[in-house]
Amino acid sequence: MSIAVIGAGVVGLATTSELLARGMDVTCFERGAPMGERSVGESRIFRYAHQVPDLVEAARHARLLFGDWEKAAGQDLIEAVGTVVSGDDVHGWADAMTEAGAEHFLVGPGSAQLRLPTSITAQHSLIDPAGGVIRVDRIRELLTDRCRDAIRSEHVHGLEAGPEGVTVHTSHSSHRYDQVVLAAGAATGPLAAQVGLYTPLALHHHARFTFPLRATAPIGPPAWITTSASGLPTYQHSSTPGHWAVGLELGPEAIGWTVGRDAALAALEAATLDYVRAELELVEPRIVDRVYCTPYDGLADGIHYRRRGGVLAVYGENLMKFAPLIGRDCADAVINVSIPSSLGHAQ
Ligand SMILES: Cc1cc2nc3c(=O)[nH]c(=O)nc-3n(C[C@H](O)[C@H](O)[C@H](O)COP(=O)(O)OP(=O)(O)OC[C@H]3O[C@@H](n4cnc5c(N)ncnc54)[C@H](O)[C@@H]3O)c2cc1C
């Protein structure tokens, strides 16, 4: 069976790596730098904490598989010293974790277990002790090394499905494959549409900014999901020693696609700086790094798969924490010509 994976983000590379490990004939097409779009940057948040038990379970599976990657890499890929979720809806998250049998506990505002860059005012915070920070830079090194010989630097412009397989048209050539895994991140929608598959098309602008920490005492847990005093959803974590990365959500009038990248970035930068100045006393309001990407409109946590004939498309948000699970499930689905169904999110 000949297989093409389109996109060398973390999802495409995890899939390619798994297929190579099973001795399959696989080519991974990438138009830019591997893990240079949505998988760019040095860190992400890992958590068991999710709002539905299926995803808690998926995170548990993914953590086991990250363990295999850690053995191969010879170093930790997740620095697991906990993730905190604060806010009114933490009980829903706690219920999902209880149902999935994942360790967690709730603490109040004065808890000595919370050493975050500000004092917590939320009535309840959920501590997910096995959460933490994903070292994306190490994953990039591991996966690009494993997949090096399979990656082809070509921009895929077209897909054509027929009875004999799927033809992949690139900037350089056209090749026919028995199976194609479409893992092109923000570009999945337009390619999927060419073979009659619907996946989300609408995107918006997003950016996460990194700041120096003023804290001299260690921060912990190092990852935190909360809502600002003005009601903006935020996620934040210790990205590298002495640094704190913060992302927040704004409405479509500020970050919608038609607003344009520059205007959206300016709005996000201003809002994030305002938030840091107003609410994070242990963070210096000085931006030292920025990660920009284009997420889908309206998608929350979750992994989604669609198949038509020889093309399997995979998409979703916050996929880094599930990457080894997605790679394994996509490889199974390619070999069995099926759709991954372990999460109940297959469509
Ligand atoms: C700021 C930020 C914070 C995040 N926080 C978290 C978090 O805390 N926890 C978490 O789990 N996840 C988080 N995520 C999300 C996670 O990083 C992404 O879901 C994941 O990296 C997506 O990987 P991917 O492989 O699907 O997409 P991508 O990494 O975008 O990979 C797609 C690849 O396809 C290539 N490509 C596209 N079109 C073509 C084409 N036509 N031909 C050839 N190649 C093509 C692109 O160049 C790209 O390399 C965050 C993302 C960002 C940006």
CATH number at residue 260: 3.30.9.10
| Residue nearest atom 12 in ligand 1 by C-alpha distance | 318
The CA distances from residue 128 to 50, 80, 81, 85, 133, in Å, are 10, 10, 9, 8, 12
Q: Does the CB atom of residue 283 touch ligand 1 within 6 A? A: no
pLDDT of residue 237 exceeding 90, the answer is yes
Give the residue-averaged pLDDT of 123-144: 97
Range of the domain at 94: 83-129+204-293
Question: Which numbered atom of ligand 1 lies nearest the CA of 235?
Answer: 8
Q: Does residue 253 fall inside a structural domain?
A: yes
Looking at the domain assignment, is residue 289 inside a domain? yes
- Structure confidence at residue 346 (pLDDT): 36
**pLDDT single digits (tens) 187-209:** 999 999 999 999 999 999 999 99
CA of 155, closest atom in ligand 1:
42
Q: Which atom of ligand 1 is nearest to the CA of 29?
A: 43
pLDDT tens profile 83-100: 999 988 899 999 999 999
Average pLDDT over residues 299-322: 95
pLDDT class for 342, splitting at 50, 70, 90? low
Tell me the pLDDT band of 343, cut-offs 50, 70 and 90: low
How far is 179 from 160, CA to CA, in rounded Å? 12
- Residues 29 and 154: beta-carbon distance below 8 Å: yes
Is 73 a domain residue?
Answer: no
pLDDT band at 121, cuts 50/70/90?
confident
Residue 51, in any domain of the structure: no
Provide the pLDDT confidence category of residue 120 given band limits of 50, 70 and 90. confident
Determine if ligand 1 sits within 6 Å of the CB of residue 12.
yes
Instruction: Tell me which residue has its CA closest to atom 13 in ligand 1.
Output: 318
Mutate to test the pocket of ligand 1, among 15, 38, 272, 305 (most ligand atoms within 8 A of CB): 38
Is residue 238 a part of any domain in this protein? yes
Examine residue 230 and state whether it is found in any structural domain, yes or no: yes
Tokens 């500000």 belong to residue? 118
Ligand 1 centroid vs 110 CA: distance in angstroms? 37
Q: Does any domain span residue 221?
A: yes
Residues 6+ apart with CB under 8 A from 40: 291, 293
- What's the half-sphere exposure (Cβ side, CA atoms, 13 Å) at 161? 17
pLDDT for 341 beyond 80: no
pLDDT confidence of residue 28: 98
Residue 159 resides in a domain: no
- Percent pLDDT > 90 in the chain is 92
Name, in order, each residue with C-beta under 8 angstroms of 57's C-beta and a sequence gap of 6 or more. 100, 343
Nearby residues of 273 by Cβ (< 8 Å), 6 or more positions away: 209, 285, 287
The tally of domains found in the chain comes to: 1
How many residues make up the chain in this entry? 347
Average pLDDT value for residue range 30-35:
98
